[in-house]
Structure formats: C-alpha cells, structure tokens
Chains A and B, each alone.
Chain A
Amino acid sequence: MTTKVPPESGSESLGPEDREADGPDASVLLLQSEGTDAPPTRPLAQPGALLVDDDEEEAADDDTPREGVVDRPSDPDVAARIRELEERLDRMIGEHARGRDAEDGTSLAVRSPPRATPSTRRSARPPDPEGALDAARDLRSSEFYLQKWGRLGLRNRSEEVDEFGYDPVYERKVLPLFDFLYEKYFRVEVHGVERVPAEGRCLLVANHSGTLPFDGMMLRRAVRREHPKHREVRWLAEDGIFHFPFLGSFTNRVGAVRACQENAERLLEQDALVAVFPEGVKGIAKLFKERYRLQRFGRGGFVKLGLRTRTPVVPVAIVGGEEANPMLSRIDYLTRAFGIPYLPVTPTFPWLGPLGLLPAPTKWKIFFGQPIDLQGYGAGSVDDELLVGRLTEQVRAEIQQTLDRALGDRRSVWFG
C-alpha cells in the first residue's frame, strides 16, 4: 500500500495513466478471484445447477452476486471509470499529436494503451512526401537488398527443422522428384504394408542395396503413401554419407538420421517408425554377383535396440534395388586417402562421370513381414549374446526367404 502514495503526490499528467494502468489489473484480479472461488462452492450451494441444461456461464453469473455482493457493484463503476480515463487519454494524445511534431506523438503513443495507438497515429501522420524519400533511401542502401535476399532464402525453408534436422518444407519441395522415382521410374509395388503397426514405436529392418542408396527414401515414400495411417519413416543412414558435401545435408533434410544407437534410441523413445539397414556399408558395397545375398547383420545392434526399447521389429525385403546400380567391381586401393571407403565400378560409373551414378529403371517391390514382438524378453536379455544372435539370425533368415521367394517369382528385372 505504501507504494501507492508516490504516484498520487507526483505530477498531474502522470496521474490518470497510472490509475488507468492499475484499474484493469485490479478488476481482472477481482474477476479471477471470483472465477476461482466459484467452482468449489457452487456444487455445494446449488446441487441442481449441474442438472440444469442451461448455459454454464449463466449459472455462474447467477451465483456470483450471492457470494461476492461486495465486489459486484464496484465492477461497472470501475469499467466506467476506465472508459472515461481512456477517453481522456485519447483526447490528450490527440491534442499532443496535433500540437507537436511526430516525435512527441510517438513517445506518448508508446505509453498509451496499444488499442489507442493505431487511430491516433493514422490521424497524426497523413501520407507525407518524407515517407517516399525514406523508401527511396531504403532502395539505395545495401541493407535493404540484404534483407530481401535473406527473406528469399528463407522462403524455401521451414521456420524450424525438427531436432534431427528434418525439414518438412524442403521435403515438400523435392517431393515431385521422389514421387517421380517412386511412381514412374522404379514403379514401386508394396506388399503387406498394413503389417506395420498403426502407432507406437516400430523398427523396420531391411536389406540394403544400390551403390547410391535410394532404398531409404523409397521405403519412406512407400509407407507414407500406402500405409493406412500414412506414417512417417525415419531411416538411419551410414555416417559415411555425412562426410560428403551436399549429400549429407540433403539426406538429413529429407528425413535421414545418422545411424547410431543414441539416435535410434531417442527416435524410438518418441514412438517413431525407424528403418534400419543392418548390413550397413557392406550392404551397398555388394558386388553384382553377390546381389540379394544378405551380408552379416552387424553385431545385432538392432535386436539389442529393440530389446532395450521394447520395440517390435518388422522385417522388410526390398527387391529391385540391388540391380539399379550393378557394381561390377570396387576399388578400395588408395581411396581411403580421399575419405571414401571404396570407388564403385559399374557399367556406367567412372566412365560417364557423375551421370553414371544414375540408377537403372528396375522394377521395385517392397515386402513387409510379420512384426516380431520383443517385449516378452526380460531386462537382462540385452546382454544375452545367444539370444541376440538367435533373434538377429531369425530376422535375417526371414528377409532372405522373402527375397528368395520374390526372386523366384520374378520374370523380369525391368517389369517384375
């Protein structure tokens, strides 16, 4: 209460503003206290109020006067006073703005309530030639162009990427390319996508293929388009890819995440749908003659991950990808010096330059298997190497069988 004294003894001109600022706060507080007090007391005082089908707010209005008899009459009073003071303030601002130049007007306008500013400002500042001059000066300064440049650059990007670097706006921009690849180029055929759970964390385990791995993107597109819930797949990519300029940031923006236990665990904790390629670099480094022969599945990292996070595993077999970029040979002599694990030799690659990396238009088929539930195993099962090995082998065998069956049914690499 002692703090209230100085403003009153202060200058006259500040008086109304101060009181005006106190006024609404005080009334809001009163209203709030009524609101918070009412609910607990109302059901006790008037049990029938809940049964009445009337508007809830009306009932509250009926109740409040009975409890807050003292507060209620002061309300319209306060409101009227506020309105009066606001009008006075508006008038004062208007006079000031008319009397003084623009600078005084703005400094007063800052202190006045925001509701009053637009009208007074507009009346105070008719469109003057100075504005045009300002605009011209803007056009001359490099700052202006810098800003425009920055805005143009941001238009293609979303305001915020997610915590793993996925940028939805950017993906939408490149989506036509992916859709072209999906529909027209690889003509992807999807079987059993409904076996992917409609919600909750899930691990898709697939064979890896292709010198340039398109399988992650195609798997993402497939689930996004065909799954009844249109779930989003985040796929884990080898960290080799992040060494390279452009490739790393591009795949990251369209949804890939670097493959490591920490990332996978964090994604699964958020109940995401995560695709992994346990073959890793060995998978995409397969020669043409080794196609569809699954490589070692790492050290069973994905099974440990599934056990630890209690995530079901869905085996996925992708047919077609392994012929898209047939690798005849790979050169791993001296390539380490350039930061790449090996140099692929395909019928087209080193000979046609980067163009040679374009995949062949093979027919793709993606088969989803039955989910394998890993929830039943206990807490210590992660350290049980026998169990991890057995489960890894089970998943691997299932993918291999699906691949073999699909290859047996297939008539042509190009038309399926």
Chain B
Amino acid sequence: MADYLRAPTMSGSRASSSGGSPAPALSHSGSLTPTAPRSRTRSVAVTGATGFLGSNLIGSLEEDDRVGRIVAIDATPLAGAGKKTRSYEVDLTQPSAEARIAEILAADRVDTIAHLAFLPEPTHATAWAHELESLGTMHVTVAARQAQVRKLVLWSQTWLYGAHPSNPNFLTEKHPLRAPRSEPFFTDKIEAEEQARKLAQRSPGTVVTILRTAPILGPTVHNAFTRYLAHRVVPTMMGFDPLVQFLHEVDAISALHLSVVRDVPGTFNIVGDGVLPLSTVVKLAGRIALPVPHPLARTMTALGWVAQLVQAPPTFLKYLRFLCVADGRKARESLGFAPAYTSREALLDFVNAQRLREVKLLAENAT
C-alpha cells in the first residue's frame, strides 16, 4: 500500500500524460505539456514487469510518445524505470491480487494491459506456477473487465501447438493447441490463452491480442531453449532432426510493442523467417550433439528431472523429435510485424554473446 500512496506524487508532473482520458480534475496540468495536437496517449500496464520481456517492453514504451503512462506490475519492484513508469508490487499468486489490480487499473486509467507474467522455462514448483500463470491470468482478466480496460495483450508461445509428426510444416493460428496436457508448463499457458479468449467473448468491446512467439533467442534472453544450448554437449534424439525456428529478442519486444500501440484483435504467430534443422543449430552453436535413442532419453530425463539434474521434464523431448514450426504470415499481414532477424541470425546473435560470456568478456545478466 505504501507504494500505491507514493505513486501519485512520483509522477505528478506526468499526470497530463493520461490527459487523453476524460479527467476534468487533472485537466489543469494538461496545459503544462505543449504537445497539444496529440489527441490521445495510452496508459499501459505491464504485468511481469521485471521479467525479460516486461522490462524491455517498458524500456521501449518509455520512448514512445503514443504512450503516456506505464504501470509496471510485478511481485518485485522494477529497478531503473523511466519517468513515465510507476511501479507496483502485486503478487499474482495471492487471492487479493484481483482487487488490487483492479484498483491500480482504475486509479491510473489504464487502457491497455500487456500480460507477460509467464515463466520462460519449466519449474519444479508446479503448484506455484499454476497459481501464477493460470490463476494469475484469471485475476488479470477479471480485473480488466472490472476496470473496463480496452485492450489485453497476452504473451503465449508456439510451443503450445505441440510437436507432432502429423503437424504441417507451418502451423497456422487456426491449428488446435496440442502440447502435451500432462505437462503443467504448457497446460497453464493454454489455460491462460483460453481465459484471454473468454474475456474477448464476454466483453466484445475489448481488444484481445495473443502473441505466440517462437523460442526466443538473443544475446540477453534466458529460457528453456537457451538453457538447452548452454551446455557443451547437447543431447539430440538419435535419427531425428526436426526443423526449428527462432525469434530474436528484439523482434519479440517490437512485436509486443506493435500490438500495444495498434489495435488488432486476434491470435498471431510471431516467428523469425526461415527454419534450421536442429543438427545445424547445434553445430552453429559450436556444441557437440550427443544422439540418444529416444526411449532411453525419456527414462533418463524423467529420472534426471525428478532428481533435479536436468532443466526440463521429458515432455520437452518431443520438440527434439518432431516439427513445431509456425507460420508468421498473419502477423505480417494484419499486425504489420516484420521480423528484423531470421531464425539463423537470431541463433548466431545468441551464439556470439554466449562465446563472449564463456570467456568472461560479457557479464552474466541476473535473471
């Protein structure tokens, strides 16, 4: 609550930035800013603000004139935020989060929420992850309805399509989400998507944009795939060499930014151009591929996961065997998103940073 009380004084001079919304009480400060021709600026709330995507999205929104105010919501305070940003500490796993968020959204006249509070890699704390991702999304969507927020942008992943030998080479947004339902990492995210769609149905005026990103690679990001490529010896499935695609971190952030400032409802695959066979990926990364027969790999990984020796449960092994590549044409046509990096370039950028990190030329960023 202390944060909440402090916040208005912090950004008192920026109060005009929410001037787009009808706020007669604040209108006197509107004359302070000379940018009169701008009819309306947005007030954007970002959940998961201290995560990779959250903090970078806030950074890029800070520089956008179309965004007047940024509300950062996370369980831990956001360090080094810009002038437009107000930071609130809300733990989405708490039952009280709903009321708290609704209160914040109303107080700051938020019109757009970017909901990015999702885990980028699997965790053993599945119960907590479920509370955060599935129920956290529920809290956010309900609060959004209460505060009559105009738009919700949800981060999702193409992994949710699942890797199957029967997948077409390019999965479109119409394809059902067939990720293994036994894996909470995927199930929670699928449930989150369903809740976002439910919000779109229940309140037709709300724009709901779901961005399904391909595995994100880049110099600074950390997720399940960067962990996979971090080791010197990388296990692959013997006899399988699926095509994979990546998205550069810069493109991921620019796609989120685009969907915040443009009102395009719908689900979009956000992917880099081109595909690479996994074997080429491993070689470009300068790793040694260790081909393991897949039945053996499954038991080993299952044991390793229980013993907390490996970073991913055995359900992820399917992605090393079968295709899970999405088609980004819809995002290009409707959202106007064009990736700056191809899959290959994203990988090489990650690999270069990784090399610098290995010789201690690049500091490991704390995430």
Give Cα distance in the complex from A246 to B240, angstroms.
6
A-B contact count (CB 8 A): 84
In the assembled complex, the CB of A173 is this many whole angstroms from the nearest CB of chain B, namely 14
Nearest residue, chain A, Cβ from B166: A239
Looking at the assembled complex, report how far the CB atom of B351 sits from the nearest CB atom of chain A, in whole angstroms: 10
Given A245-B237, A249-B240, does the pair A163, B275 have CB atoms closer than 8 Å? yes
> Do A239 and B165 touch (CB < 8 A)?
yes
Q: Which of B277, B288, B344 has the most CB of A within 10 A?
A: B277
Tell me, rounded to whole Å, the shortest Cβ–Cβ distance linking A156 to chain B: 10
Interface contact A246-B239, CB-CB below 8 Å: yes
Is the pair A245, B277 in contact by a Cβ cutoff of 8 Å? Answer: no
Report B292 CB to chain A, min CB distance, Å: 11
Residues in B with CB closer than 8 Å to A253 are: 241, 277
- When distances are taken between beta carbons in the complex, the residues of chain A under 8 Å from B240 are 245, 248-249
Chain B contacts for A150, CB-based, 8 A:
283-284, 286-287
Known: A245-B238, A245-B239, A245-B294. Is A262-B284 also a contact (CB below 8 A)? no
| Cβ B275 vs Cβ A165 within 8 A | yes
Q: How large is the interface on A (under 10, 10 to 19, 20 to 34, 35 or more residues)?
A: 20 to 34
| Shortest CB distance A337–B (Å) | 13
- Evaluate contact between B279 and A157: CB separation under 8 angstroms: yes
Residues from chain B with Cβ under 8 Å of A260 in the complex? 166, 168
Asked whether, in the complex, the Cβ of A161 is within 8 Å of the Cβ of B283, the reply is no
| Interface presence of A408 (CB below 8 A) | no
Chain A residues near B165: list those with CB within 8 A.
239-240, 242-243, 248, 258
Instruction: List the B residue with the shortest CB-CB distance to A142.
Output: B232
Asked whether B170 is an interface residue with its Cβ less than 8 Å from the other chain, the reply is: yes
Residues of B in contact, count (CB < 8 Å): 31
Bound Cα distance from A248 to B238, whole angstroms: 12
A258:B169 contact, CB within 8 angstroms: yes
Asked whether B277 lies within 8 Å of A266 as measured between CB atoms, the reply is: no
A160 within 8 Å of B (CB atoms):
yes
- Distance in angstroms from B177 CB to nearest chain A CB is 16
Contacts of B238 in A (CB 8 A): 245
Q: Which residues does chain B contribute within 8 Å of A249, judged by CB atoms? A: 239-242, 277
B172 at the interface (CB under 8 A from A): yes
Q: Does A70 contact B (CB under 8 A)?
A: no
CA distance A164 to B294 in the complex (A): 24
- Is B94 located at the chain interface by the 8 A CB criterion? no
Contact of B168 among A146, A160, A252, A262 (CB under 8 A): A262
Whether A351 sits at the interface, judged by CB under 8 Å, is no
B132 lies within 8 A of chain A by Cβ: no
Q: Which of B188-241 touch A at CB < 8 Å?
A: 232, 237-241
Task: Give every chain B residue within 8 A of A266 (Cβ-Cβ).
Answer: 169-170
Given contacts A242-B322, A245-B239, A249-B241, contact A258 B283 (CB under 8 A): no
Q: Which of B291-343 contact A (CB under 8 A)?
A: 293-294, 322-323
Instruction: Given A239-B165, A249-B239, check contact A154 B277 (CB 8 Å).
Output: no
When the two chains form their complex, are residues B322 and A262 in contact, meaning their CB atoms are under 8 A apart? Answer: no
Question: Are B276 and A160 in contact (CB-based, < 8 A)?
Answer: yes
Given contacts A244-B239, A248-B165, contact A146 B276 (CB under 8 A): no
- Measured in the bound complex, the distance between the Cα atoms of B275 and A150 in whole Å is 19
A-B contact pairs, 30 of them (CB 8 A): A146-B232, A147-B286, A149-B288, A150-B287, A157-B277, A157-B279, A157-B283, A161-B277, A161-B280, A163-B170, A163-B274, A165-B243, A167-B277, A239-B165, A240-B165, A242-B322, A242-B323, A244-B239, A245-B238, A247-B239, A248-B239, A248-B240, A249-B240, A252-B241, A258-B165, A258-B166, A260-B166, A262-B168, A262-B170, A263-B169
Q: Using A160-B276, A248-B239 as known contacts, list a sample of 6 further A-B pairs with CB atoms less than 8 Å apart, ordered by residue number in A.
A: A149-B288, A239-B166, A240-B165, A243-B165, A244-B239, A248-B240
Partner-A contacts on B (CB < 8 A): 165-170, 172, 232, 237-243, 274-277, 279-280, 283-284, 286-288, 293-294, 322-323, 344
Chain A residues within 8 Å of B, Cβ to Cβ: 146-147, 149-150, 153-154, 157, 160-161, 163-165, 167, 239-240, 242-249, 252-253, 257-258, 260-263, 266
Which 8 A-B pairs have CB atoms at the shortest separation, nearest pair first? A245-B239, A262-B168, A242-B165, A249-B241, A246-B239, A150-B283, A239-B166, A153-B283
